[in-house]
Structure 1
Amino acid sequence: MSPDQGPAGTMPVNGSVPSSGARAIVVGILAAMAGLMFGLDTGVIAGALGFIGDEFHAAARMQEWIVSSMMVAATIGSVVAGRISFRFGRRRALLGASLLFLAGSMICALAPSITVLIVGRVLLGLAVGIAAFAAPLYISEVTAEAVRGAMISFYQLMVTLGIFLAYVTDSVLAYGGHWRWMLGLMAVPAALFCAACLFLPDSPRWLMMRGERSRASQVMRYLRPDPAEADAEIRDIAQELRKESGSGFALFRSNANFRRSVLLGVMLQVMQQLTGINVLMYYAPKVFQAAHFGVSAATWATALIGLINVLSTGFAIAFIDRWGRRPLLILSCAIMTFAMLGAGGLIAFGGDSLPQEIGMVGALLLFVAGFAIGAGPLVWTLCSEIQPLRGRDFGIACSTFTNWAANSLVSNVFLTVMAALGEARTFWLFALMNGLFIIITLAYVPETRGVSLEEIEARLMAGRRLRDLGQDTTGRGAEA
């Protein structure tokens, strides 16, 4: 290996990059570009959908399928992602996703029919499903516990930034109805993400699981500022691997403690989707039009939602490793409950007036802020932290599959449900769900702040209660 190359032969280790203390952060930021692509492809359809419907004379039900086809494909992508990540590594999974992002964006932009458009959306969905699985997993495995929560949350920040940029692009291009440019511009960041993946080292934990301790140690020393710290982390990983027998589904079938962590991850992802966040992101212009906004005003209000999403996720990054996961998640659900109650009330009793429109914008901005400070980044963080190493691919695959299955279901029926229940009752239904999630968080969600993945795994396999997985052996809780 050349002295100018990193442990995987991918990143230079001379003066052209930061010292090893910052390398893990740089690597995490590059991997988090997957979140940018996730957000761009999630948000762009909101502004393009109306123009697509007009050009192809697509009814509401067909428009639902244009949106949800990506979700269905992402569900499939999340299933195959586990196998790809386990066999070929997290880095190669991200590289494959980047190529799918590039191909899907180009096909959507050039689509001569709805059928071809849906094919492109399916490719994007596969990419999103793989990336949403592999990126948080990879980031959790290369970063130290002191910054792990912030770095996984940075992935969610990139998701929100992508959504915001898509909304702004949609708003600008909407004046000319340029929906093909809306979809085609996504190919530019896709190409940049593809290039970034070439500069990522393999996960040291994945290498250890493959029996490549020498390479794993080399990568860990590259990522940590202190060689002794890196060696100790490798020893901890080896110790936990010796305790486990089997992997993936075999471990799920034989180990009741692993089944508990898988079910917790599944429950967290169901919670996230039933907050109502993604139907707002996919159908935001339609939601605002239902609240009596004009088309142009609805588009710019949607862009404002994207901006608040970015800023609030930045708040989560700043405090997730200071305040902890549980307090932020509880606060998040409480804010969303209040916001959905208010939005429903404004639609039901506010009438068609300027104060009602302003109040509606305020309620939905509050809802997005509530989601972004907790349920958005924290669910992905927790799902990446609670699974044991030998079962991590399977466990995260199950939770990611659940995310996209629930996402697909909710997005596919939202317009139908809103037509059946009415706008106000639909918002109140989401308020009820968010209130329920506060209770679930108190009962089951652990505080993992400042606790290594190996410590969490040891407590899980020792049979500790789920909400106590982040506590130290004295039961006083995790130390920062």
Structure 2
Amino acid sequence: MSSQVSTTGSALPPDAPGPHSRRLGVIAVVATFGGLLFGYDTGVINGALEPLKEDLSLTAFTEGFVVSILIFGAAIGALVGGRLSDKYGRRHNILMLAGIFVLGTLGCVLAPSWEVLAVFRFILGLAVGGASATVPVYLSEVSPFERRGSLVTRNEVMIVSGQFAAFVINALIFNIWGEHDSVWRYMLLVAVLPAFALFFGMLRMPESPRWLVLQGRDDDALAVLKQVRSPERAEAEMAEVHALAEEEKLSQTGGAADLSVRWIRRLIYIGVGLGVFQQFTGINSVMYYGTQLLGDAGFSSSSAIIANTLNGLFSVLGITVGLLIMNRIDRRTMLIAGFSLTTLFHLLVGLSALLLPDGTAKAYFILVFVVLFVFCMQGTIGPLVWLMLAEIFPLKIRSFAIGVCVFMLWIANAAVALAFPPVVDALGIAPTFFIFVGLGILALVFIITQVPETRGQSLEELEARFRREYS
């Protein structure tokens, strides 16, 4: 945020509590159902995959394809969703996404073959990617500057909570109706409920005041601000919204032409590296295939799906800890510690799979090390990469550059999701996790040699520094 906006914000009347605070809280709850759906739809395949494989006769390749096609859809949805949000409004976009969530979910539930399932998984991916691009922007634009950080990070918490909810619901459904061939359809169908809640909830939510100002609708923007601020704060804050609108116009002037500038190319290279190496930790191989992984480690089908809920629980705990400590530790220190720990637990999973005899002890050792990996990843690398992507780019190219980096992050996510089942099928658990060890070492070299420290500096100071160091 520019110094102009920060100065404007500091001169505003304080955000005193009142009825508007409750209204803002309701808006945050409703909007973050988009994050919950993001988490549920990416996590539900985890427990549904085993019965789905038997019902639709999936091979290792088609299994990876059905899982990863959602992520390829999300990469496209993130690119397109941001553009549609700018053109038609944040609220309108979230309503449309809720409809796509419903369509995609029902299509998956009724799919007669894996090919049809893949088509509707791709449609779901468009909604997931669109939500990832739209919901945080909507939350940031309706929130007062004092609460912006806490309200926006609720969406991250809702994403991992959605994955945790998917794991728990899968375990319950499997242990009640597991004998039915179509039990996976029940698991997927549950996602319709939060999709309907998002759609009908957003019908009663306001549009972003910042977007309304960009459209020249100042009276409508002020009316929205009066819903979520005290009357005197709403009037005063219109000046800040206008300043943010000017920032928005400036942020849209950057584009591919700026890649001719050496220091900007260097920053995008760093941003892409952060996003790709975040996904090459293999976190989503656990989030998507954790139940199968634990089954391969030695758990029975019913035990594996229950044990997998620990991955969801420790994901939520990890991101909670990460958000608490993020502003107290240097970014580079936290990244190096995170990649060191995740690489260590990859090594321990691989050694356990390789050296321990088959049996209960082996299964539990692998479970413990996988859970600790998830906790360390979500407590450090997971939220920190998103924060650094928001920090390192100058305003002029921020929208374009983050779009490029997030697109590459989604593609890396999809590549891991596509490759994991056939690699495990061909090589086994131990060699697969040793590959992650190698990628972790490469990530550490990249962080140590390429990634700058950004904590404790304003965005303007960072831009001046990067111009000086990378030109």
Q: Fold match, TM over 0.5?
A: yes
User: In the alignment, what sits opposite 1:464?
Assistant: 466
User: In the alignment, what sits opposite 1:30?
Assistant: 30
User: In the alignment, what sits opposite 2:432?
Assistant: 426
Decide whether the 8 Å contact of 2:20 with 2:228 is kept in 1. Answer: yes
Distance across 2 between alignment mates of 1:381 and 1:224? 27
User: In the alignment, what sits opposite 2:363?
Assistant: 357
Q: In the TM superposition, what are the counterparts of 1:56-455 in structure 2 within 5 Å?
A: 56-143=56-143, 147-175=147-175, 176-177=177-178, 178-210=183-215, 219=224, 223=228, 226=233, 230=237, 233-234=240-241, 236-237=243-244, 240=247, 244=250, 247=253, 249=255, 252=258, 259=265, 261-323=267-329, 325-387=331-393, 391-441=397-447, 443-447=450-454
Tell me the CA shift for residue 324 of structure 1. 6.4
Distance across 2 between alignment mates of 1:182 and 1:395? 37
Question: TM-score scaled by structure 1?
Answer: 0.81
Tell me the CA shift for residue 258 of structure 1. 5.5
Tell me the CA shift for residue 219 of structure 1. 4.9
Tell me the CA shift for residue 184 of structure 1. 0.9
Which one-letter code corresponds to 1:447 in the other structure? T
Tell me the CA shift for residue 270 of structure 1. 0.8
Cα pair distance change 1:467/1:161, threshold 3 Å? farther
Decide whether the 8 Å contact of 2:268 with 2:401 is kept in 1. Answer: yes
SS in 2 for 1:464: helix
Tell me the CA shift for residue 88 of structure 1. 1.8
Tell me the CA shift for residue 287 of structure 1. 1.2
Measured against aligned partners, the alpha-carbon deviations of 1:316-350 in whole angstroms (never above 9, x if no partner) come to 23333455655544433232122111111111112
Distance across 2 between alignment mates of 1:290 and 1:268? 31
Decide whether the 8 Å contact of 2:454 with 2:462 is kept in 1. Answer: no
Decide whether the 8 Å contact of 1:149 with 1:381 is kept in 2. Answer: no
Distance across 2 between alignment mates of 1:316 and 1:215? 38
Distance across 2 between alignment mates of 1:408 and 1:287? 18
Tell me the CA shift for residue 353 of structure 1. 3.4
Decide whether the 8 Å contact of 1:152 with 1:381 is kept in 2. Answer: no
Decide whether the 8 Å contact of 2:89 with 2:207 is kept in 1. Answer: yes
Which one-letter code corresponds to 1:172 in the other structure? L
Name the stretch that deviates more: 129-138 or 217-226: 217-226
Distance across 2 between alignment mates of 1:324 and 1:201? 38
Tell me the CA shift for residue 118 of structure 1. 1.8
Cα pair distance change 1:55/1:236, threshold 3 Å? same
Name the stretch that deviates more: 343-352 or 145-154: 145-154
Tell me the CA shift for residue 200 of structure 1. 4.0
Decide whether the 8 Å contact of 2:393 with 2:463 is kept in 1. Answer: no
Question: TM-score scaled by structure 2?
Answer: 0.83
User: In the alignment, what sits opposite 1:44?
Assistant: 44
Distance across 1 between alignment mates of 2:146 and 2:195? 30
Distance across 1 between alignment mates of 2:383 and 2:453? 15
Which one-letter code corresponds to 2:136 in the other structure? P
Distance across 2 between alignment mates of 1:274 and 1:19? 45
Name the stretch that deviates more: 458-467 or 48-57: 458-467
Tell me the CA shift for residue 106 of structure 1. 1.0
Decide whether the 8 Å contact of 2:36 with 2:162 is kept in 1. Answer: yes
Tell me the CA shift for residue 121 of structure 1. 0.9
Distance across 1 between alignment mates of 2:59 and 2:468? 46
Name the stretch that deviates more: 257-266 or 281-290: 257-266
Which one-letter code corresponds to 2:424 in the other structure? M
Tell me the CA shift for residue 162 of structure 1. 0.9
Name the stretch that deviates more: 158-167 or 207-216: 207-216
Measured against aligned partners, the alpha-carbon deviations of 1:380-413 in whole angstroms (never above 9, x if no partner) come to 3333455555655433332332122111111111
Tell me the CA shift for residue 189 of structure 1. 0.8
SS in 2 for 1:358: helix
Decide whether the 8 Å contact of 1:46 with 1:284 is kept in 2. Answer: yes
Distance across 1 between alignment mates of 2:468 and 2:341? 25
Measured against aligned partners, the alpha-carbon deviations of 1:20-71 in whole angstroms (never above 9, x if no partner) come to 4566555444332221101111111111112122122222222222112212
Decide whether the 8 Å contact of 1:331 with 1:370 is kept in 2. Answer: no
- The runs of 5 or more residues in structure 1 that have no matched partner are 1-16, 469-480
Measured against aligned partners, the alpha-carbon deviations of 1:415-444 in whole angstroms (never above 9, x if no partner) come to 222344432122122233334434544542
Tell me the CA shift for residue 304 of structure 1. 1.5
Which one-letter code corresponds to 2:191 in the other structure? M
Cα pair distance change 1:55/1:419, threshold 3 Å? closer
Tell me the CA shift for residue 85 of structure 1. 2.1
Measured against aligned partners, the alpha-carbon deviations of 1:289-333 in whole angstroms (never above 9, x if no partner) come to 222222222111111211111222222233334556555444332
